[in-house]
Structure 1
Amino acid sequence: MSSRKRPAAPAGFPGFLEPAKPNLLKVAPYDEKWIHEVKFDGYRIQAGIHASEVTLWTRNGYDYTIAS
């Protein structure tokens, strides 16, 4: 019996992953354990690359990919 481990099988492409919802606060927490960002006007986009194909999703999971 060999002591060598077999490589893990590749996982399938997950597609859209629902992002964590941000909390609206009047003052950002101040502590070295916290990381935060200011949300300016604009879009939050999630990008996925699978088999050389890029897909863009909005935070609600809508396909925002622009066909070329």
Structure 2
Amino acid sequence: MKPIVHGLEAKYGERIQFTYLDIDDPNTSELKRALGYRVQPHLFLLDGNGGVIQQWLGFVAEEEFVAAFEGVLK
């Protein structure tokens, strides 16, 4: 997943903010709980107010991310 996500960040990073949470950091516990984080990888697409637009569990094909990103950038 890491190469896919980093590639997407290179492509969309000027229009979408990418944030990474350290799952072992206790300082991220509150945010993980608020988002409903359950497993790794668990990826979220959030709106400007932090609301969840879409989330993915496990491996996701790059095309699924691209479709979601393009949908919100229209």
Q: TM-score range by the shorter chain?
A: under 0.3
Greater share of helix: 2
Please say which structure displays the higher CA radius of gyration.
1
